[in-house]
């Protein structure tokens, strides 16, 4: 656990210097499309579920603060989820593209099962079942963003999330056979697509 959080802390520090090169750009090198402060988008996959929506506010073109919510997939994240993320970005001078990174937290119901016969929907006959009403995850990602001159917004990227148990609810364990439930540090990779609109 300490090694994981040391790595996450180091990556968090990198996020805030990622957009620093934009600070040396002349003001007219940032395209007007990146001066739209608000983005509303639908999301597919990612840290807040299989499908969802997000709202992002950018006080400056190089930084976005994002909140989102969605619905998890069947297994293991099988309920509503919500989260927030800080997104520094490097805006390519004179272009509609930007390279970004992100770090944040998400929360949602999480169910873990072990043993039995594996199927598309999980385990048909598990040895145990453990459920968190709310389980917290730290999320880190990289993405490519695009904004058109008329405000169309598109983002594609990917990253990983890892559980943060001090911020999670106590799990409920049901044992059907064997010694009991097991829980540890997990790392879940993810991809995400977002499509929406940017507003002034």
pLDDT at 127 over 50: yes
The predicted pLDDT at position 116 comes to 46
Greater confidence (114 vs 64) lies with 64
Mean pLDDT of the 3-17 span: 52
Is residue 64 within 8 Å of 82, Cβ to Cβ?
Answer: no
The predicted pLDDT at position 117 comes to 46
Least-confidence region, from 60-64, 66-70, 140-144, 183-187:
183-187
> DSSP of 41-57, one letter per residue?
EEEEESTT-SEEEEEEE
Fold of domain 2-108+135-166+186-199: Porin (2.40.160)
Residue for token digits 């040895």? Answer: 127
Tokens of 87: 């997104």
C-alpha to C-alpha distance for 27 and 81, rounded to whole angstroms: 38
Residue for token digits 């007007």? Answer: 32
Residue for token digits 């180091």? Answer: 10
pLDDT at 114 over 90: no
Q: How many helices (H) and strands (E) does the chain have?
A: 1, 11
Mean pLDDT of the 103-114 span: 87
Greater confidence (183 vs 3) lies with 183
pLDDT at 2 over 50: no
- The ranges assigned to domains in the chain are 2-108+135-166+186-199
**Beta carbons within 8 Å of 40's beta carbon, 6+ residues apart:** 53, 54, 55, 56, 196, 197, 199
The Cα-based distances of 19 to 23, 54, 88, 144 in angstroms read: 8, 22, 6, 13
């Amino acid at each position: 656990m300490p090694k994981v959080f040391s790595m996450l802390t180091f990556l968090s520090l990198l996020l805030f210097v990622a957009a620093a090169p934009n600070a040396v750009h002349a003001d007219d090198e940032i395209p007007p499309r990146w001066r739209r402060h608000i983005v509303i988008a639908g999301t597919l996959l990612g840290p807040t579920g299989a499908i969802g929506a997000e709202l992002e506010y950018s006080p400056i073109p190089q930084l976005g603060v994002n909140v989102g919510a969605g619905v998890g997939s069947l297994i293991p994240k099988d309920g509503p989820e919500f989260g927030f993320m800080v997104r520094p970005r490097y805006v390519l001078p004179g272009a509609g593209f930007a390279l970004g990174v992100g770090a944040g937290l998400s929360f949602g119901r999480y169910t873990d099962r072990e043993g039995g016969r594996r199927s598309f929907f999980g385990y048909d006959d598990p040895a145990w079942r453990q459920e968190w009403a709310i389980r917290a995850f730290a999320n880190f990602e990289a993405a490519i963003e695009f904004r058109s001159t008329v405000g169309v917004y598109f983002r594609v990227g990917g990253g990983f999330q890892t559980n943060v148990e001090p911020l999670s609810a106590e799990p409920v364990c049901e044992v059907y056979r064997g010694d009991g439930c097991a829980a540890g540090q997990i790392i879940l990779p993810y991809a995400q697509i977002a499509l929406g609109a940017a507003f002034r």
